[in-house]
Structure 1
Amino acid sequence: MMKHWMAAVIATAAGVLSVPAAWSADDAFPEVRIDYERHVLPNGLTLLVHEDRKAPVVAVNIWYHVGSKDERPGRTGFAHLFEHLMFNGSENFNDEFFRPLEAAGATKLNGTTWYDRTNYFQNVPVNALDLTLWLESDRMGHLLGAIDQARLDEQREVVLNEKRQGENRPYGKVWEAIAQATYPAGHPYSWTTIGSYEDVKAATLDDVKDWFREHYGAANAVLVIAGDVDAEDVRHKVEHYFGDIAAGPVRRRHEAWAAPMEGEKRMVLQDRVPQTRIFKVWNVPGFCDSQANILGIAAGVLGDGKNSRLYERLVYRDQIATGVSVGLGPFEIASQFMIDVTVKPGGDAAAVERAIDEELERFLRDGPTAEELARVRTKTFAQALRGLERVDGFGGKSATLAQYEVYCGTPERYTEELDEIRDATPLAVRDMARHWLADGVFVLTVEPFPEHQVADSGADRSKLPELGTPPDLELPPLRRAKLSNGLEVVLAERHEAPLVQLSLIADAGFAADAGIKAGTARLTLDMLDEGAGDDDALALAARAERLGAQLAAGSSLDTSFVNLNALKARLEPSLDLFADVLLRPRFPADELERLRQLLLATIQQEKAEPYGIASRLYPALIYGEGHAYANPRSGAGTEDSVRAITLDDLKAFYTRWIRPDTSTLLIVGDTTLEEIVPLLEARLGAWAAPAQAAPVKQLDAVALPDKPRIFLVNRTGAEQSLILGAHLAPPRSDPDDLAMQLANTVLGGNFVSRLNMNLREDKRWSYGAFTSISNAKAQRPFIAYAPVQSDRTLDALREMRRELEDARSRQPLKPAEVDFARDSLVRSLPGENETVGDITGSYTTILVHGLADDYWNDYVGRIAELSAKDANAAARRLLQPQSLTWVIVGDLSRIEAPVRELGWGEVTVLDTDGKRLR
């Protein structure tokens, strides 16, 4: 529930831009703006309302102007701990906050805490707006009576497990080291948001209640409602539910305190990581300061995309690094400019740092070129158009309005930012970078707050509001055509935003690696946009950036894809780009060697992370060597197989598998079949299938083992054990699939599922425990997994198996649980089909798994017909605890002997490559 870093300032403006009049016709974009109404209730609550009628979904997003900077030394982690407590029930609904919302079909729901704010957000069907407002207002105004010592102890352990989980990841200890080293003692940003173990453990019930009284009044909150609503109706609803809540005490605000450093300070931190990583950090002005905005442009020039200075030099040309990130952490009273570079495995960190310094020195000397500025501007405007599709709190329009209102006092600050980006010159960007990045005042102003009044009455707190009738999902119908070469074209029209998404879906994927070198499918598709037609890799990337287009090629288990997200105004040249990538890839040898090193680094990253290790090993264990699905789940292959792949291997894979007779071109967006087919025919019509017959993947059925097996992987010193149990389940096309989805949702498919409530909320051994059923054309994996504290490995293992056995037979799924799971699945559909990308994903599922065109539009009715009896019958088919293959990654010096004493079955110790050690 806590984010660790934020994007550059220029990215935060996505979806909220107006087109500068000075732009040339070639660079013009449609005008983009978030319209809103602003109201301040008598009790000080600020309300922003944005109407977006494209889908029957509404985002409810509330930001409290309090974060970890409002804590004090010795009491760190309070803001984040309290965020957790806000999900555990209020005085009038003393239950898990997620429970009624998941049943209502909420999507994109969570809470996050950061240095300056705490927010809570969810997308819900429009019929659930009253319910959501009731819940949010109840925990704003009626929380203290529901917080007791047991609840505090429970969430304290959950938070500490979250901290352990974060620090257990590679590079997980970086952020605390940066905070302590870059800000002076006592600065509000000198500790991390999650706080210290000691401070979280020391939190008392009085402490947390005082935190609520001091920071959670109505006058310290901004509520944004965005979606399929009427603004005046929303205002009345908010006054009804929130009007009688106390304003809270007058808050003292921090003034800007950039705290620039002087000279150079160095530190070496050792951790369990696969590669050396270099971070360079400068303290700079805060979020609303125009200086930070200009520095955001500098960050884009230096590190955003293949044509950025540092990526081109370090990853592409010199090939001494595998990853580059440059950005701003835009906090309220100060920000941090960071360069983050991952050194190539076995590389020279000192040489990489010298190269970083050389490029930075060149930038500070000469500044950016006009072309580089144009690239950053174009990306910003393209992000704006894509951002208009989303209303959610994960960076959608409601988050944008809230962020600028909370940090800057007005949502309109983004328009000034865009003016600054439009008007920035190379000289201005260079001078700003020189001022803040060439090297290393606190003023407090107290202003009176307006007096507030509390309404005499408010909402009925004796019961939750009724949900009402859920909206039906109405995806645009599919229309079909064929090009002259037989390529099937499938279109879903969506005209609400000027975007067109294309997805070439080829029957290939990681499964096509069977019998050849593992990793070939992934590497082949990765190579497609590394040079095509007349363009090398950098020229191709620059061409996409000029068009504001997004290209992606890749693979999943059963399919390979080439995707294009294009602006409607630049559709035809974007289709030219798409055709070059699809039909005329260059497969340059130097790019293969560079991508090979990146893929090898990816494998090393997977082998350094507990879930990555388990996901590399379990497919071969449950499918058996030689099966098409047996390779590592990510499709990355092994280090030996990747080193052996040649250009001829890639070209042969491309010719054999990427072909029009076994592919489908799915299009979603602002076009018609009459418009798009001639454009496609002109570009793709001559694409012919090879003479050889279309290949067929061997997906033979695999028998389940008759008893459990346990595989252990050592991770010396690990503070947690990752437990993953897996067995094979029927394919997605199985007639009982919907009933299996219900059973999985009850068991471990959402926050309030049996498994998570047991291991996280009841036992407090894990930050999260879940189950899932992956998609596959053949038998697919069912997995149950949980990272748990090391000393509870054996207990958690027993509990996980018991939960599966109970759900299968001893404690059948109750009608109320099945109803909840059904509501959760059904009511979340509108929120999961908001953007053209979302709809593309939904229709890809239909096309790949041979489902009916109206599968999603009929989903509600079909799942409504399923009873608890149906779900329990499906659970008996789905869950096979006696056949589970367990993979446990942890410190074997602490867990191996107890696991062996369980007596469940054969116990084998593997290395991270799956080789048997004992």
Structure 2
Amino acid sequence: MHFPVRRALAALALALACAAQPACGAAAAKPASNDIPIPDIAYTRFVLKNGLTVLVHEDHKSPVVAVNTWYHVGSKNEKPGKTGFAHLFEHLMFSGSEHFNKTYITAMEHIGATDLNGTTNTDRTNYFENVPTSMLDYALFAESDRMGSLLGVLDQKKLDLQRGVVQNEKRQRENQPYGVAYQLLTENTWPAGHPYSWTVIGSMADLDAASMTDVTDWFKTNYGPNNVVLVLAGDITPEVARQKVEKYFGDIPAGPPLARQQAWVAKRSGSHRSVVQDRVPQARIYRVWNVPGANTPEEPLLDLAAHVLGGGKTSRLYKRLVYKDQTATSASASDDSSEIAGQFDLTLTARPGADARKMEQAADEELRAMLKSGPTDSELQLAKTAILARYTRIVERVGGFGGKSDLLASCTTFTGNPECYKTYLERIKAATPAQVKKAMNDWLADGDYVLQVDPYPANLATTAKLDRSKEPALGKPESLRLPPMQKTTLSNGLKVVVAERHTAPVVNFSLLVDSGYASDAPSMPGVASLALRMLEEGTPTRSSLKISEELESLGASFNTGTNLDGAFVNMNALKATMPRALDLYADLLLHPAFPQNEFARLQKDRLATIAREKANPQQMALRVLPSLLYGKGHAYALPFTGTGTEDAVRRMTREDMVKYHQTWFRPNNATLLVVGDTTLAELKPLLEKSFASWKPSEVPKKNVAQVGQPTKTVVYLMDRPGALQSVIIGAQLAPPRNNPEAVPLQLVNNVFGGTFSARLNMNLREDKHWSYGVGTQIASAVGQRPFLSVSPVQTDKTRDALQELVKEYTGIAGAKPITAAELKAAQDNETLRLPGSFETTSQLAGAYQTILQYQLPEDYYNTLTEKALALTPEQANALAVRSVMPNRLIWVVVGDLSKIEPGVRELNLGEVHQIDVDGNLVK
């Protein structure tokens, strides 16, 4: 299902950007893998008489319950000629059931669900949502009704609608750079007839041919409770869970007996190769082997091999290809484990102008060296620590991808043992270099498939029957009481804010520096983001690779990010290694060396990144939009990706990085936020010691000028020949984030396009199925904020979709007033989902960062529910009329102009100009 708009809008790069990194100290830290315990996720298990397997995990830190439902059916259960059914049916499960005949995501958003989605892979289909405890009955009623009573309201109209949505999802994926690879890799690595030899999303022809009989048979065969694992995790007890599950699921009849696929690795022999062209700026090599799948003795060994070979900056491929040879901008390895088989793959992206053959040859040399000698002890320790640290962080979250309920459901579905992850981690801990070497030689010495993607020359039931005649009564918003922010100031003037949470042995450090894209000179955009990226590239006492090794050895992660107004340096550390990690963190913050060799490498990488952005339809638009919206010379008039321009990046020097750091990184211009398993009393002495050498200094003032709204509608066209979709972006300005009307305006936005059930998505996706998903966002900023709609639509509907968007803008601005029901839905979504938004230390830190950066009241989130519920329809409509300007919008349309330009011009929305990827007018 994957409601995609939030992911698309995240491309604005106005939220924190991350990049792993470490910090200070002289001697290498002792590897921590032996000290990291294997997590223990306690559970109670029971099975209903109809075969439904239920697991319950208690976690009462927040009034939220994760509902995670796994159906043991995926694309491998399809047949050739009838592919894509599992994924298509996942979409149909969101379209309403007999006693709950409403759009599922809309209904769940109205009760405040978070981590809400459904996904399909080769082996399973899962549906998950975190809901306030008071809404659990409602969620279980809905989840059980679609399990037991879907077919009563499934009709041809719903089938046609979701078929169109899925086909647009397929188009959207294939419209991305390297989108051709997935189909080719799937078809060429598995033998004909193998259950993995077709893609999960299926073929267009098979989707077109899907009939009501086909989907009905699919449901009857695969969606019985005896083929399901249900996990409830969070604010619930086993006794309450059993009572509720018996009530809602107990009368659903069991489905038929099912056949299960057994392991079929399909090991290959020899080497096979394909070459394909795509409109991409850089060549890419995929190299794939078929290997044993999940829950096999080989899986942890190959996972460790993948980490050592290509698991990050400390890996052999990254060191050789990206750092040393500089033939690649990225180089990775992964071991992707599925139920009956797996695939080990290398993905290598060539630097523009580099010889892809030399890059591939060097990668092969690194592989052969590991096949010959295996990993070193230290490499293996780093890999073990990284994997164990990742599992340690799982205990922070009850639901969603990678949460505790997800892990329990996966283990139970595929092995019958909810604790199978312990076996995996025990094998990780016990692995030796010799065992990893043997596994690599058994599976990676032969049988590879290589796909080379070259740039296109143009460059471009037994219990009582439940009465389902009425739904359970809805609960009320849960009270929210986030940990208080404790404050102190170090002797050098650095403000420190601490929020304690002791439910997981994790501590998150975030330094907030008042700088951001707005601190860049107009002639040199991109300095701030590149300087932040370089913080992890070395200090006087630590090289870049040494930093990465120390971070892995400590089980810590480091990343930096920039947005319009700020720079952020984050470290997530384990409690057990926090003091050592803090030393490393301080060294990275205070003593970046900005090595010339690393600067030169990253300068090339940044140019390659910009080239990729100029090939991605949404990023093409987001690069040129700011100057059209704010006017050239404004502090915000630079690419929303934050990467700057090619001209500026080419002119940058290492000295620009040094100057940026010396100018803006001052204790009197920063706040250190610490969230997690620590106390202010414990921290302050450590911080005073670590930051003693950091001295205050005068900092320049940024000038974020006020600008006027667009005076008229103007349409800008950008050509992307051969595009399968057009991307339409509408833009105007909104008041700053700390404006008193920010909360009401967000509610108006939620009605318009900010949620799945908003007007735009209901129109273009659910009603007309011209898109996989559209939406709007008011990005955060200290100054005027960009208010954007992003609409990827199929090419032949570009004109009609743009016309519908104009109609929707006019509607929300007064022609179609917001109804009481729409406002209530937006209020429910905004308030009820709050408790599920602060599970992890990183999420909590993100909330406090928002408060601190935009100078919001300290009780902002604790009082948000009250403020949101106070808005009336009259107030909402008055605000919409004042705020939304349908006749003064900047439109940017990216697509195949040979097919879409005449239709766009026919609409006569205003002046129409064609611009290139740099925003220059094309004559």
* TM-score normalised over the length of structure 2: 0.95
Q: Is the counterpart of residue 110 in structure 1 residue 117 in structure 2?
A: yes
Partner of 2:787: 782
Q: Is the counterpart of residue 676 in structure 1 residue 683 in structure 2?
A: yes
Match of 1:805 among 800, 804, 810: 810
Identical columns (%): 52
Match of 1:92 among 95, 99, 117: 99
Q: Is the counterpart of residue 909 in structure 1 residue 914 in structure 2?
A: yes
AA paired with 1:679? Answer: L
Instruction: Write out per-residue CA displacement over residues 244-300 of structure 1, whole angstroms, 9 at most, x where no aligned residue.
Output: 111101000011100001101110111111211100100011112111221111111
For 2:106 and 2:356, how far apart are their aligned partners in 1? 49
Query: Does the aligned pair in 1 maintain the 2:308–2:315 contact within 8 Å?
Result: yes
Partner of 2:831: 826
**DSSP-derived class of the 1:257 partner:** coil
Match of 1:154 among 161, 165, 172: 161
Q: Is the counterpart of residue 760 in structure 1 residue 765 in structure 2?
A: yes
Query: Does the aligned pair in 2 maintain the 1:275–1:343 contact within 8 Å?
Result: yes
How big is the alpha-carbon RMSD for the aligned residues of Structure 1 and Structure 2? 1.4
Alignment of 1:870-885 (within 5 A): 870-885=875-890
Partner of 1:835: 840
For 1:302 and 1:87, how far apart are their aligned partners in 2? 41
Partner of 1:51: 58
For 2:426 and 2:635, how far apart are their aligned partners in 1? 54
Partner of 1:274: 281
Q: C-alpha displacement at 1:599, in angstroms?
A: 1.1
Alignment of 1:731-750 (within 5 A): 731-750=736-755
Query: Does the aligned pair in 2 maintain the 1:241–1:458 contact within 8 Å?
Result: no
Partner of 2:225: 218
Partner of 2:17: none
For 2:889 and 2:652, how far apart are their aligned partners in 1? 34
For 1:139 and 1:364, how far apart are their aligned partners in 2? 50
617-626 vs 283-292, greater mean Cα deviation: 283-292
Q: C-alpha displacement at 1:394, in angstroms?
A: 1.1
AA paired with 2:903? Answer: P
Partner of 2:12: none
For 1:870 and 1:543, how far apart are their aligned partners in 2? 55
AA paired with 1:712? Answer: L
Partner of 1:32: 39
Query: Does the aligned pair in 2 maintain the 1:533–1:580 contact within 8 Å?
Result: no
Residues 904 and 577 (structure 1 numbering): CA distance in 2 closer, same or farther, change over 3 Å?
same
Instruction: Write out per-residue CA displacement over residues 28-79 of structure 1, whole angstroms, 9 at most, x where no aligned residue.
Output: 1355211111111110011011111111111100000000000001100000
Partner of 2:650: 643
Q: Is the counterpart of residue 458 in structure 1 residue 465 in structure 2?
A: yes
Partner of 1:406: 413
Instruction: Write out per-residue CA displacement over residues 872-901 of structure 1, whole angstroms, 9 at most, x where no aligned residue.
Output: 122122211111100000000011122222
For 2:181 and 2:231, how far apart are their aligned partners in 1? 34
For 2:72 and 2:350, how far apart are their aligned partners in 1? 38
Q: Is the counterpart of residue 530 in structure 1 residue 564 in structure 2?
A: no
Q: Is the counterpart of residue 320 in structure 1 residue 327 in structure 2?
A: yes
AA paired with 1:664? Answer: T
For 1:902 and 1:866, how far apart are their aligned partners in 2? 36
AA paired with 1:54? Answer: K
Match of 1:711 among 713, 716, 738: 716
Instruction: Write out per-residue CA displacement over residues 695-749 of structure 1, whole angstroms, 9 at most, x where no aligned residue.
Output: 1111111111221000000000111100000011111111111110110000101
Partner of 1:189: 196
**DSSP-derived class of the 2:491 partner:** coil
Query: Does the aligned pair in 2 maintain the 1:328–1:336 contact within 8 Å?
Result: yes
Alignment of 1:517-596 (within 5 A): 517-596=524-603
Partner of 2:499: 492
Q: C-alpha displacement at 1:456, in angstroms?
A: 4.3
**DSSP-derived class of the 2:695 partner:** coil
For 1:473 and 1:207, how far apart are their aligned partners in 2? 46
AA paired with 1:455? Answer: T
Q: C-alpha displacement at 1:903, in angstroms?
A: 1.7
Instruction: Write out per-residue CA displacement over residues 470-490 of structure 1, whole angstroms, 9 at most, x where no aligned residue.
Output: 211111011110001111111
Residues 258 and 483 (structure 1 numbering): CA distance in 2 closer, same or farther, change over 3 Å?
same
AA paired with 1:599? Answer: R
For 1:583 and 1:686, how far apart are their aligned partners in 2? 8
Residues 376 and 756 (structure 1 numbering): CA distance in 2 closer, same or farther, change over 3 Å?
same
Query: Does the aligned pair in 1 maintain the 2:32–2:555 contact within 8 Å?
Result: no
AA paired with 2:792? Answer: P
For 2:33 and 2:422, how far apart are their aligned partners in 1? 22
For 2:561 and 2:159, how far apart are their aligned partners in 1? 45
Q: C-alpha displacement at 1:26, in angstroms?
A: 8.5
Query: Does the aligned pair in 1 maintain the 2:3–2:117 contact within 8 Å?
Result: no
AA paired with 1:83? Answer: E
Residues 26 and 704 (structure 1 numbering): CA distance in 2 closer, same or farther, change over 3 Å?
closer
AA paired with 2:348? Answer: V
Residues 413 and 818 (structure 1 numbering): CA distance in 2 closer, same or farther, change over 3 Å?
same
Gaps of 5+ in 1: 5-22, 441-453
Match of 2:891 among 864, 872, 886: 886
711-720 vs 896-905, greater mean Cα deviation: 896-905
Q: Is the counterpart of residue 796 in structure 1 residue 801 in structure 2?
A: yes
Q: Is the counterpart of residue 243 in structure 1 residue 238 in structure 2?
A: no
Partner of 2:632: 625
Q: C-alpha displacement at 1:516, in angstroms?
A: 4.3
AA paired with 2:806? Answer: R
**After TM superposition, what 4+ stretches of structure 1 lie above 6 angstroms from structure 2?**
23-26
**DSSP-derived class of the 1:273 partner:** coil
AA paired with 1:892? Answer: L
Partner of 1:444: none
Query: Does the aligned pair in 1 maintain the 2:110–2:826 contact within 8 Å?
Result: yes
Alignment of 1:505-524 (within 5 A): 505-524=512-531
For 1:830 and 1:325, how far apart are their aligned partners in 2? 36
For 2:171 and 2:558, how far apart are their aligned partners in 1? 37
Query: Does the aligned pair in 2 maintain the 1:242–1:458 contact within 8 Å?
Result: no
Residues 873 and 685 (structure 1 numbering): CA distance in 2 closer, same or farther, change over 3 Å?
farther
AA paired with 2:795? Answer: S
Residues 563 and 25 (structure 1 numbering): CA distance in 2 closer, same or farther, change over 3 Å?
closer
Query: Does the aligned pair in 1 maintain the 2:64–2:836 contact within 8 Å?
Result: yes
Partner of 2:19: none
AA paired with 1:869? Answer: E
Q: C-alpha displacement at 1:227, in angstroms?
A: 0.7
Alignment of 1:251-266 (within 5 A): 251-266=258-273
**DSSP-derived class of the 1:666 partner:** strand
Partner of 1:127: 134
Partner of 1:418: 425
AA paired with 1:42? Answer: K
Q: C-alpha displacement at 1:198, in angstroms?
A: 0.2
Aligned length: 885
Instruction: Write out per-residue CA displacement over residues 168-213 of structure 1, whole angstroms, 9 at most, x where no aligned residue.
Output: 0111121111111111111100000000000000000111001000
Partner of 1:288: 295
Considering Cα pairs closer than 8 Å and 6+ residues apart, tell me whether 1 or 2 has the greater RCO: 2
For 1:315 and 1:661, how far apart are their aligned partners in 2? 37
Q: C-alpha displacement at 1:752, in angstroms?
A: 0.8
For 2:467 and 2:641, how far apart are their aligned partners in 1? 50
For 1:609 and 1:408, how far apart are their aligned partners in 2? 40
**DSSP-derived class of the 1:882 partner:** coil
For 1:801 and 1:62, how far apart are their aligned partners in 2? 39
For 1:467 and 1:677, how far apart are their aligned partners in 2? 46
Gaps of 5+ in 2: 5-29, 448-460
For 1:637 and 1:732, how far apart are their aligned partners in 2? 24
AA paired with 2:152? Answer: G
Instruction: Write out per-residue CA displacement over residues 832-873 of structure 1, whole angstroms, 9 at most, x where no aligned residue.
Output: 111110011101111111111111111111111111112112
Q: Is the counterpart of residue 849 in structure 1 residue 878 in structure 2?
A: no
